[in-house]
Structure 1
Amino acid sequence: MKLTGAQMLLKCLEMEGVEVMFGFPGGAVIDIYDEIPNSTVEHILVRHEQGAIHAADGYARATGRVGVCLVTSGPGATNTVTGIATAYMDSIPVVIFTGQVPRALIGNDAFQEVDIVGITRSCTKHNYLVQDIEDLAVTIKQAFYLARSGRPGPVLVDLPKDVMQQVAEFRYPESVQMRSYNPTCKPHVGQVRKVMKLLRKAKKPLIYSGGGVITSGSHADLTWLARNLCIPVTSTLMGLGAFPGDDPLFLGMLGMHGTFAANMAVNNCDLLLAVGARFDDRVTGKVDTFAPNATIVHIDVDPTSIQKNVSVHVPLVADCKAALAALRAESEASLDDIDWCADHREWVGQVQDWGREHPLTYKDDDAVIKPQFVVEKIYEITKGDAIIATEVGQNQMWAAQFYKYTRPNTLLTSGGLGTMGYGFPAAMGAQRAFPGKLVIDIAGDGSIQMCIQEMMTVVCNRLPVKIVILNNGYLGMVRQWQELFYRKNYCETCLDAQPDFVKLAEAYGAAGFRVTEKKDVESTLREAFALDKPVIVDIRVAREENVYPMVPAGASLTEMLLV
């Protein structure tokens, strides 16, 4: 079967099981767009290429499948870079197809030409420039394999226009073999047994769960281990939902804005079992004082993440699912011999006491709307049965603290890069994946304006995403730092000049609500969530409310600022 490069690309996507891609056309990809009506792959037209990559990312996080986007050359390609870096930092499987000028013009500063392969080399798992149509099918096969295997991540494929116009015999490989890429997925038996010996000896064990647990689909084994061995669990921002947030063993998030119980548990545990996490600076605080009394076990499929930030006593390089399954199998054999809960009863009681003594809280006030109250109401109304996306900043931290995530793949947030504007297009991608689910973007009034043009996308595609803006008239997290550490010098963080978000929603053909009084919060949210269309709910919250607890930069986890 002979096909053009454009036809071949779409046929490859069909054979990879891709149901939807997000994109924006242009001259370099016009041949591909000419063939899209003949394909079973749905195309969703975004209003900015950053929206396309974030939507593909949100689709991937919500489904566990590879997200796909398609953009043109030059500015179309460069507009995706922020989203590519976002996916790279959070290990999200996305394949990005970018148009490129014809091969004969590459390097000649042609119209809309950039070296996108060079630009994205540091923020992709791998990238390709397809120089021959004979290599196209195998390159796409490799791209999807790389994106989803090992430590997942974004893979970019650059497509010269003339290659898309060439004709060749189409053969799609059934499998991929890459000599230079063989991730270690199965755990070493000896290391598994070493971890089990440490677990048997430990009196104060703690599980530190990261996004790798969700990515690998190993949440069930992690939950089994925690409950049957009676081990408390703390989580990174990316790991929320891997262990039920309403379980008595769950301590909440650790780190800079983590709970008192979680941070104190890290400081006092004698064994820290880190699973699919990378010990980033927001988690560890002052590295020299992180988990000072603990033997640290680190399970990760990426060997370069181990020993990178924190010294580890027992490394276990493997896919989290395989490693936790192996630990579960070893543990099951011990249940008749060891009363794990009796051994850990005192420790579990201690960490739960810390949680009761210093819970996540705020000073409620009937005169103003507290943002934490809004997030609590969202949880109460949804009963946790929603997909929550967030922007970045205070809204993100309140969504992490005051909404209980009981299942994986239900929190979509930019963890590593901290990308303002991420939440709304990510919610759009998740809504396309799950048309019948309630998808909510908890946003700030600053960050929501970064990708607000995607209102037209959700309206045109009947994607009933709900945007709840915690509107405090500031770039809130930067303002908080200015208050606490820069003498309240609120330089360029005040957003007194704001659009009318209700009129803006209506201008796009969506619904808009404004809430200024606490008594109207619940009823308005219920009305908004019941509508089968996109909605913006603009809630005017307390202007100078801060996120607590907070560990100042460079401080130890025990040096928390409390409410």
Structure 2
Amino acid sequence: MQLTGSEIVIECLKEQGVDTVFGYPGGAILNVYDALYKHRSEIRHILTSHEQGASHAADGYARATGKVGVCLATSGPGATNLVTGIATAYMDSVPLVAITCNVGVSLLGKDSFQEIDITGITMPITKHNYIVKDVNDLADTIRKAFDIARSGRPGPVLIDIPKDVTAEKAEYIKTEPIMTKKSNVEIKEEDIDLAVSMIEKSEKPFIFVGGGTVISNANQELMQFVNLVDAPVTDSLMGKGAFPGTDERYTGMLGMHGTKASNYGVSECDLLVVIGARFSDRVTGNTAKFAKNAKILQIDIDPAEMNKNVLITAGVVGDIAEVLSKINSKLKQQSHTEWIEKIKDYKQKYPLKYHEAGLTGPFIIEEIYRQTNGEAIITTEVGQHQMWAAQYYKYSEPRTLLTSGGLGTMGYGLGASLGAKVGCPDKTVINIAGDGCFRMNMNEIATAVRHQIPIIEVVINNHVLGMVRQWQNLFYEERYSATVLNDSVDFVKLAEAMGAKGICATSREEFNSAFEEALKANVPVLIDCQIDCDDKVWPMVAPGKAISDVFDEDDMK
């Protein structure tokens, strides 16, 4: 069957089971959008307000559903506007396919109108990328892109298609997608045996869970593993929900804003089992002092992560669910009652706490948790509110906290919430934002209204860039350089101007009723929560310090 390149694009998306794409049209990609129009009953297109919003929405869709997210953009600035979203997905191992179109093949390299070398630009932030100059290669390239995006350690792939290729014809033969194994790496039995031996010799094991466990859908295998090892469990920001935050063995997050129980426990353990985590600097603090009393056993699908940031004792390379299943089949039941009790004492002695009076970030997160019964999908921007959302909402399921962990992208959460709600329409989706972040991509509120996507936007508004101000307060002698947002922007009026419902909350009672109203509204709602500009995220580890040097407000006194 002879089809144009643009028709081949749409047919290949249908082959891959794509039901939703996020994007913004332009001249170079017009042929693809024309073909998409003819298939609008099969593939829903969400027109965002900005291409960056499209990339974040595709990312949020992928994280929430486990499917490959897809975004579309035209050439030049359309393509470059995707870059931050592609980099965000790359850093957090999110399966994404970005399709851009470029000027015609004969115009490439001539500084043509809206021409850009997008494959050159995105080479460092994609698993792979392509420019397709022959229509006969197009279908196979798209199929390869989806396979690469979702296999092994997932990540984004970009396909750039010159406009004339979208108009030329080629033979198209429908192909059923081959669902590749999650990993082609053969798990070595000797590595499994060594891991089992290390665990059985340990007297004070601690389990550290990262985002790879979520990606692998290994939460059931992880629970069995934790039961067998009989160890306390901590997680990274990206690992939230892989192990239930409600479980008595859970000690809270690890690292710069981790709990004292987690930071002290990891510093004192004799075996740290690291599952799908990459030893981010925000987790380890001073790497020379990280878990210095422990042997380290790392389990990861990517061999490049072994010994990259922290020297390990042993590692097992492979898909996490498969590795844990193999270990579980060989591991004898362990018992570490005394060690577990010591960590429980730390939890009781050093609980997370915040000021009891007034409207605060932690109170807002706890109230959201209470009113949603812990069953919502939470997306966040980046900053203090992100840390509060990680600390005070108890995630009991994977894929329920969507946040930019690696790149730290302000403006990520609102677009991601749109993608998550489209992918999981039966779930309540809430984006937790700071006022600085909301300013980055607030235009996507209009997208939520346009497409009737009933997300709830909670802006924790302290009229400053809160996390940067916290550092300025603690480490820069209160020199608040360019972090005070002392203007007259009214977020409620902004939301209403874009067609959403806006509510202002200045007290706990006002927030409680506002959020209750938002849950019932079934329309896009923004709640502007006014909090003090000097509320801080506690506990904290100072830069360059060991995680065992964690301190809080009481220690400051």
Q: Say yes or no: TM over 0.5.
A: yes
- After TM superposition, list the pairs within 5 Å mapping 1:378-417 onto structure 2: 378-417=368-407
Q: What is the CA–CA distance in structure 2 between the aligned matches of 1:227 and 1:562, rounded to whole Å?
A: 32
TM-aligned CA distance change 1:184 to 1:296, over 3 Å: farther
Give how far 1:102 is off.
Answer: 0.3
Give how far 1:369 is off.
Answer: 1.1
For the 8 Å contact 1:147–1:155, the answer to whether it is kept is yes
For the 8 Å contact 2:153–2:302, the answer to whether it is kept is yes
Match of 1:74 in 2: 76
Q: What is the CA–CA distance in structure 2 between the aligned matches of 1:93 and 1:182, rounded to whole Å?
A: 12
Match of 1:318 in 2: 318
Give how far 1:91 is off.
Answer: 0.3
3-state SS of 1:37 partner? helix
TM-aligned CA distance change 1:177 to 1:538, over 3 Å: closer
1:510 and 2:500 aligned: yes
Q: What is the CA–CA distance in structure 2 between the aligned matches of 1:384 and 1:97, rounded to whole Å?
A: 36
Q: What is the CA–CA distance in structure 2 between the aligned matches of 1:467 and 1:330, rounded to whole Å?
A: 47
- Quick one: which amino acid aligns to residue 210 of structure 1? G
Q: What is the CA–CA distance in structure 2 between the aligned matches of 1:525 and 1:275, rounded to whole Å?
A: 36
1:524 and 2:526 aligned: no
Give how far 1:185 is off.
Answer: 3.5
Give how far 1:182 is off.
Answer: 11
- Quick one: which amino acid aligns to residue 160 of structure 2? D
Match of 2:140 in 1: 138
For the 8 Å contact 1:212–1:275, the answer to whether it is kept is yes
1:560 to 547, 550, 557: 550
Match of 2:348 in 1: 356
3-state SS of 1:558 partner? helix
Identity, % of aligned positions: 49
Give how far 1:171 is off.
Answer: 2.5
TM-aligned CA distance change 1:68 to 1:498, over 3 Å: farther
Give how far 1:183 is off.
Answer: 5.3
- Quick one: which amino acid aligns to residue 525 of structure 1? F
Match of 1:45 in 2: 47
3-state SS of 1:446 partner? helix
Deviation larger for 71-80 or 502-511: 502-511
Match of 2:257 in 1: 257
- Quick one: which amino acid aligns to residue 284 of structure 1? T
Give how far 1:176 is off.
Answer: 6.9
TM-aligned CA distance change 1:453 to 1:142, over 3 Å: same
Q: What is the CA–CA distance in structure 2 between the aligned matches of 1:242 and 1:187, rounded to whole Å?
A: 22
Deviation larger for 285-294 or 165-174: 165-174
Match of 2:112 in 1: 110
TM-score normalised over the length of structure 2: 0.97
Deviation larger for 498-507 or 425-434: 498-507
For the 8 Å contact 1:184–1:317, the answer to whether it is kept is no
Match of 1:211 in 2: 211
TM-aligned CA distance change 1:76 to 1:241, over 3 Å: same
Q: What is the CA–CA distance in structure 2 between the aligned matches of 1:186 and 1:5, rounded to whole Å?
A: 38
3-state SS of 1:113 partner? coil
Cα distance per residue 1:58-96 (max 9 Å; x no partner): 000000110000000000000010011000000000000
Match of 1:247 in 2: 247
5+ residue gaps, structure 1: none
Cα distance per residue 1:221-262 (max 9 Å; x no partner): 001111233111110000000000000011111000000011
Match of 2:290 in 1: 290
Give how far 1:175 is off.
Answer: 6.0
- Quick one: which amino acid aligns to residue 528 of structure 2? D
1:84 and 2:98 aligned: no
- Quick one: which amino acid aligns to residue 84 of structure 1? I
TM-score normalised over the length of structure 1: 0.96
- Quick one: which amino acid aligns to residue 475 of structure 2? F
Give how far 1:9 is off.
Answer: 0.3
1:469 and 2:474 aligned: no
1:346 to 338, 341, 344: 338
3-state SS of 2:353 partner? coil
1:274 and 2:266 aligned: no
Q: Number of paired residues?
A: 551
For the 8 Å contact 1:217–1:321, the answer to whether it is kept is yes
3-state SS of 2:444 partner? helix
- After TM superposition, list the pairs within 5 Å mapping 1:438-457 onto structure 2: 438-457=428-447
- Quick one: which amino acid aligns to residue 460 of structure 1? R
For the 8 Å contact 2:151–2:182, the answer to whether it is kept is no
TM-aligned CA distance change 1:283 to 1:37, over 3 Å: same
Cα distance per residue 1:318-358 (max 9 Å; x no partner): 01111111112223xx34xxxx23xx001111111111100
Instruction: Kindly report the root-mean-square deviation, in angstroms, between the aligned alpha carbons of the 2 structures.
Output: 1.4
Q: What is the CA–CA distance in structure 1 between the aligned matches of 2:66 and 2:224, rounded to whole Å?
A: 21
1:492 and 2:482 aligned: yes
Q: What is the CA–CA distance in structure 2 between the aligned matches of 1:447 and 1:320, rounded to whole Å?
A: 34
Give how far 1:173 is off.
Answer: 4.7
- Quick one: which amino acid aligns to residue 398 of structure 1? W
For the 8 Å contact 2:285–2:547, the answer to whether it is kept is yes
2:127 to 115, 125, 128: 125
Cα distance per residue 1:502-527 (max 9 Å; x no partner): 11111111101001122222122111
Q: What is the CA–CA distance in structure 1 between the aligned matches of 2:156 and 2:445, rounded to whole Å?
A: 25
- Quick one: which amino acid aligns to residue 173 of structure 2? R
For the 8 Å contact 2:182–2:319, the answer to whether it is kept is no
Q: What is the CA–CA distance in structure 2 between the aligned matches of 1:173 and 1:380, rounded to whole Å?
A: 47
Q: What is the CA–CA distance in structure 2 between the aligned matches of 1:42 and 1:534, rounded to whole Å?
A: 19
Q: What is the CA–CA distance in structure 2 between the aligned matches of 1:283 and 1:125, rounded to whole Å?
A: 25
For the 8 Å contact 1:186–1:322, the answer to whether it is kept is no
Match of 2:56 in 1: 54
